Structure 1
Amino acid sequence: MKVFSSQHSFDYPWQHVSSSAWQKYPNEMSSHVVAVDVLRREFNHETGILTTERLITVKQPVPRWLLAIVGGRDTSYVREVSEVDPIQKTFTLRSQNLTMNNLLSVQETVSYFPDPNNTNKTVFDQTARIEAYASIQRLCNKIEDWSVERFRQNAALGRQGFESVLKKLASTVPDGMFAKDLAAAQ
């Protein structure tokens, strides 16, 4: 098993980041994400927590050697469940690959929360647990190493793409709009 982790600070308040996250895809840097479908959305009136379940369709090149061993295609599916807590100001997303998860499990957790040192910034915390399943440990290591590197590349591109979405939305939305939208949802 390998672990990938990353932390980043966005120069926008939590309200802006958490409401913009729904518009993260499509973006020019994350062309591997081809579709995002909402499967379920629930709002808990007692806690104020919004829970959303989405299916994310991803298409990216897979090494021929891997496809030759396990078969499959270059399109895969990921299940994501998120919780937005406007009281605690947390937005947590948990995702799990659905495609070939008997050969490779990727469990990712992403959290957005206000920077404790600067409320005009939002901390992005990302952790992924990547584990390959095969009878040959050397093959598992090779698959995990390739997967971690691919995850690292996609994470960097995703962060850049989200920065462009944040910048674009900040220029088109009047000041205070995100805070008003969030208050109205409570």
Structure 2
Amino acid sequence: MRFYSQSFLYDDPWSIVSYAFFMRYPNPFASHVLSCDVVSRNISPTGTLVTTRLILKSGAMPRWAPKGMVSRAESWVIEESEVDPVGRVVRCTTKNLDHVKVMRVEERVILEQTSDDKTLQNTEARIVSGFGWGLTKRIESHGLARFKANIQRSRQGLFTILELIRQSRAQTMTMGVPSLYTPSQRFASGSSASQTASEASGSSDNEQKPRGTWLNPKSWL
């Protein structure tokens, strides 16, 4: 088994990085991702948003791999996430469903808000092969090297999405709501999201309240 761990600090607030994390596909640095579909999504009894997504990825076998090691170069990956908007934490676990005897990769990502309103990402991964035939260690080492390379490309892709969000926020309309209301605003304790947006825009109860992505937690992703 091979283990990998890395931490990275984003200057952007948690709400923006979390949104970009779930909107990261497609991007120019993830051409290997062929599809991404939501299987289920619900609000837990504790108020967290729980989502399961199914992702199809393509890959290439190393030249030294025996012919017929895997039947195809594509693999289904299941992603299970939980968003805690109160505690400002995202927990996400992914693992491949195909070729698990050759190599199983389990990745865990935690995004949490720091005291200075930045976002800390902690990533852990375990690579395990049960192939045998004297190739177990070589397969695991290859998987670890690929994971290290892919995590850098993944971060570049996330930076691309973050930049698009920044550009959107700089325009008159931000994420579908007036620019006075941004995703980084925190909801006041004991008040609803619509009340917070109304106060930020200075509108009265009789005026139509703005509606947008971040006013409805169910539409965040």
Contact 1:36–1:56 (CA under 8 A) maintained in structure 2: yes
**1:185 counterpart = 2:190:** no
Corresponding residue number in structure 2 for 1:5: 5
Question: Residue 14 and residue 67 in structure 1: after superposition, are their counterparts in 2 closer, same or farther (change >3 A)?
Answer: farther
After the TM superposition, which residues 1-186 of structure 1 pair with which residues of structure 2 at under 5 Å, given as runs? Answer: 1-44=1-44, 46-66=45-65, 68=67, 70-116=69-115, 118-119=116-117, 121-136=118-133, 138-173=134-169, 174=174, 176-178=181-183, 179=185, 182=214, 184-185=216-217
Cα distance in structure 1, aligned partners of 2:123 and 2:64 = 29
Deviations 1:80-103 (A, max 9, x none): 100000111110110111011122
Deviation at 1:182, TM superposition (A): 4.9
Q: Is the 8 A contact 2:101 2:131 kept in 1?
A: no
RMSD of equivalent CA atoms: 1.8
Higher strand proportion, which one? 1
Structure 1 alignment gaps of length 5 or more? none
- Shift of residue 115, structure 1, vs aligned partner: 2.2
Pick the structure with more helix per residue.
1
Percent identity (aligned): 30
d(CA) in 2 for partners of 1:27, 1:140: 33
Q: Normalization by structure 1: what TM-score?
A: 0.90
- Aligned pair in 2 of structure 1 residues 93, 67: CA closer, same or farther (>3 Å)? farther
Q: What count of residue pairs does the alignment treat as equivalent?
A: 182
**Larger Rg computed on CA atoms:** 2
Shift of 1:184: 4.3
Partner-residue secondary structure (3-state), 2:157 = helix
1:110-151 deviations in Å (ceiling 9; x for gaps): 0100123x21x1011111100010334x41110001100111
Aligned to 1:65, the other structure's residue is in SS state coil
> Post-superposition shift, 1:41?
0.6
Residues 86 and 182 in structure 1, CA contact (< 8 A), matched pair in contact too:
no
Is contact 1:14-1:112 (8 Å) kept? yes
- The answer to whether the 8 A contact 1:15-1:182 is kept is no
Query: What is the CA distance between 1:69 and its match in structure 2?
Result: 5.2
